[in-house]
Amino acid sequence: MVFTSGGTESDNLAILGVVRRGSAQGKHVVTTSIEHPAVLASCEQAEREGAEVTWVSPRSNGVVHAADVRAALRGNTVLVSVMHANNETGAVQQVAEIAATARELGILVHSDGVQAAGKPRVGVAELGVDLYSISGHKLNAPKGIGALYVRQGVKLQAQMFGGRHERERRAGTENVPSAVALGAAAAWHLAHGDAECGRLAALRDRLEAGILARVPGVRVNGAGAARLPNTSNLRFDGIEGEALVIALDLAGFAVSTGAACSSGAVQPSHVLTAMGLTAAEARSSLRFSLGLGNDEAQVDALVAAVEAAVARLRRLSPVYSHAG
């Protein structure tokens, strides 16, 4: 385990640490088109340094199939990087199946587990991955701490230089207090995570059922796929997502039109368009995330706020009126 500053650094160390061993020239990486920007940007940097990257698309439910990844593998493939669960839709990916295929061919497998860690319990041995990224704040630890699981025997080229910290894989004085907090958070999830996942799943289902029952023209992006218990992505016909975000913010609720790290982006979600949604459909979609501090009363209040906000925005929308 290598302690890092968070999921972004963990992803960078995993991907570039493998690709840059020796020269990147002529090496091949397989990833997906729905990854977090930390993975996408790392793979793009690997391309600039001479590596080839294949971007595998998901099916319409947001899941990248293991067969599609297998078809992308080559004789010079050195790494497969597939997220454990998507940060926008919550769709759980077929990591174990993908890893089994790659391991047969001697190809290393990295998984960005930032969104999935603790929801549900993660076993890197069961997943069969060589590298696994986590971030503390997703486990209710402080921001600014993360970790990269590195299977014994896997060699990485360091991306930071200086001292011989972390077995020469990451130079710099470790953030010991935050690392201790990350360990405490992980211990809490080991003891209570299963119950908390069940509670969050019930809240998510209550949220979706309430909105679908009270607001017409709503669809669940990723419906039918195995999903994380705390994440829901809903599409509202005839609505500009940013307008609904603002309306709900004024009502006291924090939601987003995509990944939190992409707030302010003018482009539609790359995850949703990769799933086959049009740009307009992607822009009409919102992500709802639930956590330790949420309860049924808050969910019910959110449903009511969504109903009121959508009705008001649709009355003002000539596009929706025309469609109606």
**CATH code at 241?**
3.90.1150.10
Report pLDDT for 276: 97
Count of domains for the chain: 2
Tell me which residue range forms the domain holding 292: 193-323
164 and 201 housed in the same domain:
no
- pLDDT at site 186: 95
Beta bridge partners of 77: 28
Place of tokens 């994380």: 228
If asked whether residues 271 and 293 sit together in one domain, one would say yes
Weakly modelled stretches of the chain, pLDDT under 50: 262-263, 322-324
Same domain, 177 and 290: no
pLDDT one-digit tens code per residue, 230-259 = 999 999 999 999 999 999 999 999 999 975
The CB-side HSE value for 11 (13 A sphere, CA atoms) comes to 26
Tell whether pTM > 0.95: no
The gap from C-alpha 46 to its chain's centroid, in whole angstroms, comes to: 21
List 220's β-bridge partners, or say none: 234
pLDDT digits 0-9 by tens, 69-83: 999 999 999 999 999
Asked if 100 and 18 sit in the same domain, the reply is: yes
Same domain, yes or no, for 123 and 61?
yes
On whether both 252 and 163 belong to a single domain, the answer is no
Among 184, 214, 243, the domain boundary falls at 184
Q: Which of 261, 304, 305, 308 is catalytic?
A: 261
One domain for residues 140 and 202: no
- Between CA 39 and CA 35 the distance in angstroms is 6
Which run of H or of E encompasses 218? strand 218-220
Is the preceding omega at residue 120 within 30 degrees of 0, hence cis?
Answer: yes
Strand-strand pairing, 218-220 and 28-32? unpaired
197 labelled catalytic: no
